Structures are given as structure tokens and as C-alpha cells.
Structure 1
Amino acid sequence: MKRIFIVRHGRTEWNLESRFQGANGDSPLLESSKKDCEDLAVFLDKFDFAAIYTSPIRRARVTAELTLSHTKKYGKAPIVDDEDFREVGFGDWEGLTRTQVKTAYPELFDALTHRRDDPRLLAFGIEKFTAARKRFKAGIIHRLQTVSDGQNILIFSHGSISQLGIKALTGNEHLTSLKNTSTSIIQTSDDQHFDIAAYNEAAYLENVDSKGSTTLI
């Protein structure tokens, strides 16, 4: 059995302001996220990782570097950038608030929030969700080929792409959104069929939103 640990980056200024923050938008981590990374480090130290990857977007890489700097095992471990784990691109809407987009484009906002491909979204430079799903899934399968049975991979990524990618891997289309600094664990015995061992795990955080999954595995 191989396991893939997928971490969503820490909460950022744009997350706090409910702004679209995709592949081409970015903002700094909140000060409170630094403590969350310390809490995450304690959790991750319970496991062994054969390889560690991150989206190259700064908020994900900073989360990876900060978290691993607080671990006992992985302070000097290499972190490899992987474009397949980059966030979905939200085109011209990056930096806009949800309220701004919902007010100006209510139908398209609904399509976006339900992750439905719509030709009109492409006009704004928004990445096709079906393509994003395939990208993340392909990245996972590619990286699994580099490790042996019984080993784990750790990935620092983003909310939308991780949710879409896990849906693509497992066939579970009912997954909810992911909390910042949460961990989801996917497992496979043949690199083709995937099960969810944990989703949106966040009980290790000292200050965790109690809504949704918080159960420690």
C-alpha cells in the first residue's frame, strides 16, 4: 500500500478577504497560519515520507518550508516543485472578491462554485475543471512510480485543485471544500485504484473551525 498525504496551504490574506486566489494570484500567509504550520508539523512527524512535493506557487511553498522547518524529521528534506499540483487558474477573476463576481456574473459564479465547465468561463481565462482534474491525477500517478510499496508521499497544494484531483482519483464526487492547513490521505495498492483514508483532517490544529471533518486518524 502506498499513501499520498495532500496538505492545503495555510490561510492567506486573500483567503481572509474571500478573494479568488488561483494559479496566477497570490498573497502572504496570515500570522496565525505560522502557528497552524507548527501544529501540522507535529502531526506529520508521526509518519515517514519517501518524497515531498509542492506546488510552485509561493503560498504553498512557504507553507511547506515553514511546516518542515518545525518537524524533527524533515527540516533538511528536499522539497520538489511540481506544476501538476498548481492551483486551478481563475483568470481575470483572480484578486476579485466572491461578492464582486457573484454580483456581476451570477450564472457564471454558480458554474464556477459547482466546478462546471462553461465555455463562457474560458473567455475570462479560467482553466477547464476537467483539465485541472486530469492534471492533478496524472501528477499523482507519475510521482507514485518513484516510490515503493509501503512508502508515503507528501504534497503541499491548494484547495480547489486538491478537491478536484481527489475526486478524479477516487470517483467520489461528494467531497466538500478543504480547510487551510488540512491534510487528506489517499491510498492505493496498485497505483490505479484509490481510496480515501482521511479527508480534510484538521483536528491537530489548535484553532480549528469546528465545521466539517476534524477527526484525528
Structure 2
Amino acid sequence: MTNIYFIRHGKTEWNLEGRYQGANGDSPLLEQSYIEIQQLIKALKSIKFDAIYSSPIKRAKDTANLINTGLNQNLDVILNDNLEEFHLGKMEGMKFTDVAVQYPEELDAFRNHPDKYDPKNINGETFQALLKRMVPTIKKIVDQNKIDANIIIVSHGAALGALIHDLLGVPLKDFRKQGGLSNTSTTILETQNGTEFELVKWNDTSYLDRIRDESDVV
């Protein structure tokens, strides 16, 4: 059984400010995030990992490199463009409150009704396009690693939420029913064949020494 540990990057300045980052926006990890990533590493330390893959966007790459260094298991972080966050077009860098005023339909659909999300007006990426690049990437990663591998994937909140639900066979309209993923969270799926996936753990932050708040979740 292969276990995939999907990890959302550490919290950033824009996360704290309530801004959309997307694939073409970015901001530094908060100082607190370095402490929280060490707490995550401590929780993972007893597991022997076979590979670490990451989005190339700096906030994810920095998180992945810190995890890799902390685990000290002689692995290389493998960067893959297909693990990037949603391309959010005009919403990137904007505060959620401003998006709610300028693009209320897009915001509501993106957060609550993925099956109705049409990003043409904001020059963004559809859920279908995101899944077309991410799902085959995960299946290829499973196929390239040994049976019973433990694999870390470091990526982004909205992208990982969509990806994980699709791998579990959840209909698009229900992608948001469990809510979003927190910064520095771990969601674990297992698979025997890289085709069917089962949920082991969802959005785990039990190892973090703080209470989750609204700015943690995407």
C-alpha cells in the first residue's frame, strides 16, 4: 500500500492578510511558520519516506526544503510545475474582501460551488484544467515509486483540496463540503494501484501548537 502525504505549505504574509496568492502570486513564510514546520517534521520523523515532490512556487518549495532537511533521509526535493496552485488571474494579490466586491460570482462559486465556477472574466484556471494537470501527475508519481512507498507532496490549499477530492471520487459540486485545508496541514491517502484512493486522514494539524483560525484555511 502506497501512502501519500499531501502537505499544504506554511502560512505566509498574504495568508495572514487574507489575500489570494495563486500560481503567479507569492509572499514569504511567516516567522511562526518555521516553528510550525518543525512541529510537522517531528510528527513525521518516525516514518521512512521514499520521495518528496513539491510545487516550484517559493512558499511551497521553501516548506518542502525545510521538511527534507529536518527529516534528514537523504532525499532530494523534486519540483513539478503541475503541482502549482490554481492560476487565479485578476484575483491574485487581491484581498478576499475586495474580490467579494469586484468578482462576487467568481468568489462564491470558487469557494462554495465549484461546479458553477467560470473564471473567464478573471482570466483564471478552471477546476477541470487544474485536475487535468494534477491528477495524472499524482498517478505517475505513484507508478514511478515502489509498492508500499511513503511519498510527500507539498502544494497549495485550493489545488490540493480539489485534487484530493477528485482522487477520492467526490463529485465536483461537493468538493468544498469538508471545508478547506489549513496551512502546514497533512492529508493522507492510500492506494494499492494508483487508480483507487482511500482517505486515511484529512487536514490534520494536531501536531501544531496553536488553535486554527480563519486565515489558516483556504
- TM-score where L is the length of structure 2: 0.90
User: Partner amino acid for 1:14?
Assistant: W
2:194 is the counterpart of 1:191: yes
Q: Distance in 2 between matches of 1:8 and 1:130?
A: 21
CA RMSD in angstroms comes to: 1.6
User: Partner amino acid for 1:154?
Assistant: I
Q: 159-168 or 104-113: which moved more?
A: 104-113
The aligned residue for residue 141 of structure 1 is 139
Task: Give the C-alpha shift of residue 92 in structure 1.
Answer: 1.2
Task: Give the C-alpha shift of residue 105 in structure 1.
Answer: 2.3
* 1:22-101 map, 5 Å: 22-71=22-71, 73-74=72-73, 76-101=74-99
Task: Give the C-alpha shift of residue 108 in structure 1.
Answer: 2.2
- TM-score where L is the length of structure 1: 0.91
Q: 13-22 or 201-210: which moved more?
A: 201-210
Q: Distance in 2 between matches of 1:135 and 1:46?
A: 32
Q: Per residue, is there more helix in 1 or in 2? A: 2
The aligned residue for residue 5 of structure 2 is 5
**Does the aligned pair in 2 maintain the 1:184–1:198 contact within 8 Å?**
yes
Q: Tell me the percent identity.
A: 36
Q: Distance in 1 between matches of 2:66 and 2:78?
A: 15
What do the CA deviations read for 1:167-198 (whole angstroms, capped 9, x no partner)?
11002333320010000101111211100001
Secondary structure of 2:19's counterpart equals: coil
User: Partner amino acid for 1:78?
Assistant: D
What do the CA deviations read for 1:96-146 (whole angstroms, capped 9, x no partner)?
001001012222221122234544x22311101122123221111010111
Change (3 A) 1:42 1:118: closer
Secondary structure of 1:10's counterpart equals: coil
Q: Distance in 2 between matches of 1:51 and 1:68?
A: 10
Secondary structure of 1:95's counterpart equals: coil
User: Partner amino acid for 2:67?
Assistant: T
**Does the aligned pair in 1 maintain the 2:68–2:77 contact within 8 Å?**
no
User: Partner amino acid for 1:42?
Assistant: K
The aligned residue for residue 128 of structure 2 is 130
Q: Distance in 1 between matches of 2:99 and 2:212?
A: 26
Change (3 A) 1:99 1:36: same
The aligned residue for residue 215 of structure 1 is none
The number of equivalent residue pairs is 208
Secondary structure of 1:16's counterpart equals: helix
User: Partner amino acid for 1:89?
Assistant: H
Unmatched 5+ stretches in structure 1: 212-217
